[in-house]
Structure 1
Amino acid sequence: MESIKVYAPGTVANVACGFDVIGLAMDAPGDEMVVRRTSQPGIRIKAVHGADLPTDPAKNVASVAVQALLQKYDQPDAGIEIEIFKHIHPGSGIGSSAASSAGAVVAVNHLLGEPFTKKQLVRFAMEGERLACGSAHADNVAPAILGGFTLVRSYRPLDITTLHTPAELWVTVIHPQIEVKTSDAREILKQKVLMTDAIRQWGNVGAMVAALYQEDYDLISRSLEDVIVEPIRSILIPAFQELKLRCREAGALGGGISGSGPSVFMLSKGEANARKVAETMNNVYAPLGVDYKIYVSRVNTAGVKIID
């Protein structure tokens, strides 16, 4: 096979209490990518549609991730051409760079006969994240590649596991059309936290994992609490506290900042509740004079999909 088309899903990272360790994949939005093998040595970004992103292979996350894969495959000069159709807005907080990185490495791996496992592909995709924000984190690229909920137990060594996804769990995301760069959002974080806050956060992470396997929606709701990152980052997002309160009143289990923001996610039991939450998000944001998009989606358990 010399050409392949893939769909790379958007993702929600951190999932409230799980800063840098828990993420989930959505059905939509997502990017499409066409990846081809060519006789011309080296990686080329043929075009990026829908966003003003670099086509220089050294500055595009997709090509940087693929280069890491080819280096490990012992074919660093293999000819690869990538065409990207962006539907996830860069800087949205729903995994734009992760989708490009994840989609590219899954596609190239398939063209090469799948020499690497999905979990091995996560490490290559992380190099795209390193370029995007200066930190090779995995909480977006892992769910984008593996699907569902994922947990990063350790970064040194890298140890990632997939978690159970309750069948009735839906996600609603509002993306205010303002940009919050991940690198900027990281700079404002405290480097030290109180032991009491850390203990509370650990309890929520453990409870979240248990709740997913038990399909205990009440426990999921109680666990969606971030006492370390959200209090600082929420000041960057218009009407955040009102949005969170009214979405819970509308039936959401809870939620928080998606990735580094400005998107905000809410989890719900069932599609009907998820769509009520979407209506509430619209009611909160419509008077603010800020452009926004709202997505309602199941949790995507497949990850990157080959579509042609």
Structure 2
Amino acid sequence: MTPAGSPPGPGLTGGGGSGRAEAVLSKLQLLVTRKLDGLLQGDYIGLLPGPGTEAGESREYRPGDDVRRMDWPVTARTTVPHVRRTVADRELETWLAVDLSASLDFGTARWLKRDLVVAAAAAVSHLTVRGGNRIGAVVGTGEGTPVRLPARPGRKEAQGLLRAIVSTQVRPGRSDLGALVDLLNRPPRRRGVAVVISDFLTPPEQWGRPMRKLSLRHDVLAIEVVDPRELELPDVGVIALVDPETGALHEVQTADPKLRRRYAEAASAQRTAIAHQLRASGAAHLRLRTDSDWLLDMVKFVAAQRHARTRGTTR
């Protein structure tokens, strides 16, 4: 829901023409490069640890380690369970599933949710497209046919991918998130990274199975974008809300404390169900809010993933 008659406000996408989009994307690229490279120092920065395929050294088994990585010869020789470390592939293929449904045209804080989707895609691109890595995307366009952007290596190609995402024509209605995720399962590809960026407002049972299927072959990251007004209502009297996907208009009396409490409880239950389904699918889960420093949140997430890798876990 968005407030009736309220302007979309400034953002990374929207009106202003291709020249404005180019300027905003250039500024965004500079922001991402400076902050991520400044805070994430080290060799071969990765978005997800990933099990890799290149054999590395062995270490002692720890609870939570993948038993498929057991190093049986070393275990037999030492009589202590060991697992084989693996080195992440240097040539990685990353695919984005970018949900641009009409519900993303909403924001009551520093960003629109759609802006945050583009920003997250830019950050993922920066973190993955290096050393010959390729990045591609499938873009949900509301009720329209999803757009597939082929995976190509190189920073210029990644910037072109972002421009194509920003310029994608979106139709009214909600994208079928399950079908969008399933596009990453077809055709079958070698193991890589899959990133799903959405507000995940589609019922979890519609996208849970495709996410689980995707996790069987790839390292999956789910980036959930949230606006604070989706979690609780402020006490501002009667407000008119418009459903951006259907155009339906509703008037809500926010001065009613019982209504605000029921809204917060329902929103909390909805987000809990989303988080549970993502955990069940085996995906790493990153939540970005329109009222917070999304880049700092992403830095903390990547740093936590790297720390988990040094402790022998990947989640």
- After TM superposition, the score normalised by the length of structure 2 is 0.26
Tell me: higher relative CO, structure 1 or 2? Use CA pairs within 8 A at least 6 residues apart.
Answer: 1
- After TM superposition, the score normalised by the length of structure 1 is 0.26
